[in-house]
Amino acid sequence: MLKWKARYFCLLLVACLRISSRLPSTAFAAQDSSSEFPIRKVVSLVVLPVTVRDRNGQFVTGLDQANFLAYEDGKLQELTLFRHEDIPVAAGLLVDHSGSMAPKQLEVIAGAQAFVQASNPQDREFVINFSSVPSFGLPPNMEFTSRVDDLVTALSTPYASGKTALYDAVAVALKRLQDDPLDKRVLLLISDGGDNASNRTFAQALREAQAANVVIYAIGLLDEHNADQNPDILKKFARDTGGQAYFPNSLADLLRVCQDVAADIRHQYTIGYNPPDASRAGYRKIRVSVTAPGRGRLTVRTRTSYFVASNTSSGPVTQNGQGQ
């Protein structure tokens, strides 16, 4: 029975990856010279994925550009971009196969095709399995794939063992995403949040994720008897990159998680504006509000700040969270 449940956990996780891999893009200047994997982009447009919910937590659809107001450092900005659509993304699935995850190890990936056939055929995906060191699941000559069979094979490992290099795995995934031509990028991280083997710190890994403008969705598979797990790390990775963290404790919960991740991404609006004085280095605060008469009180979730680096600094950091 435990093996049967593990198989279905894995099937649902693959489905979650493929269903949720549609994410509006972002574009900030970035180069972290302190990072092993420097990330470079051009600041020309501040692009914000925005999720709007009503007082009951339901998604609010049918809004147009006139409903949105964006402020930078308290000053109203003119929106030059508005859309509400799904487009292909580059997506990475990071799966923790360390010893601490052994009780929840995903053993067999059978029948995954039934869960993933509805995926956008233009999505580009990869897998990183990690324990003491991260390793790519796909063959060396295949950086990304849209083939179901390739992803199923990439996620298959015989057993869980060793320490956990979660932060290093995130950094390696960011490097792979950096090299992809698609601007829209997301990571789905499946772990218990513990790390006892990485060369980099959590702060370094988070900074790299923020500079890369990658949204992280985290699924925490926890065990109350595991002293090494750290759900707060998963929460912070998600919160500070604009994603969400989930902690399912049953097959039904995990299915709901997959549906929630997909719904969150599919219901996002994308707005953008040209940043004032784009060359000015420093911290900038963002606020987005929505006015929709007759819709009641609405809640907005989007990035709430970003940092533009000087030529000599270590790179920009974006901070994400809740706004209204």
Write the pLDDT tens digit of every residue in 104-119: 555 333 323 333 444 5
pLDDT of residue 32: 35
Domain that holds residue 229: 2-25+87-266
- The answer to whether residues 250 and 137 belong to one domain is yes
- The answer to whether residues 286 and 187 belong to one domain is no
Instruction: Write down which residue in 251, 266, 281 finishes a domain.
Output: 266
Residue 34 lies in a domain: no
Residues lower than pLDDT 70 in the chain? 1-43, 100-121, 157-160, 183, 251, 255, 258, 262, 282-283, 305-324
- The answer to whether residues 248 and 108 belong to one domain is yes
- The answer to whether residues 306 and 262 belong to one domain is no
- The answer to whether residues 255 and 314 belong to one domain is no
pLDDT of residue 167: 94
CA-based torsion, 47, 53, 58, 64: positive or negative: negative
- The answer to whether residues 175 and 281 belong to one domain is no
- The answer to whether residues 222 and 168 belong to one domain is yes
Residue 318 lies in a domain: yes
Residue 74, amino acid:
G
pLDDT of residue 90: 83
Residue 37 lies in a domain: no
pLDDT of residue 33: 32
- The answer to whether residues 115 and 237 belong to one domain is yes
Residue 56 lies in a domain: yes
Exposure letters 118-145 (e unless 16+ CB within 10 A, then b): ebeeebbbbbbbbbbebebbbeeeeebb
Residue 38 lies in a domain: no
The count of domains in the chain is: 2
Instruction: Write down which residue in 224, 242, 266 finishes a domain.
Output: 266
Exposure letters 33-65 (e unless 16+ CB within 10 A, then b): eebebbbebebebbbbbbbbeeeeeeebeebee
Q: Which of 152, 195, 145, 204 is closest to 174 using CA atoms?
A: 204
Where on the phi/psi map is residue 249: left (φ > 0), alpha (ψ -120 to 50), or beta?
A: alpha
- The answer to whether residues 104 and 248 belong to one domain is yes
Residue 35 lies in a domain: no
- The answer to whether residues 56 and 113 belong to one domain is no
- The answer to whether residues 163 and 102 belong to one domain is yes
- The answer to whether residues 240 and 278 belong to one domain is no
- What is the DSSP track for 42-73? --S-EEEEEEEE-TTS-B-----GGGEEEEET
Residue 238 lies in a domain: yes
Residue 124 lies in a domain: yes
Instruction: Write down which residue in 243, 266, 289 finishes a domain.
Output: 266
Write the pLDDT tens digit of every residue in 43-73: 477 778 788 999 999 999 899 999 999 999 9
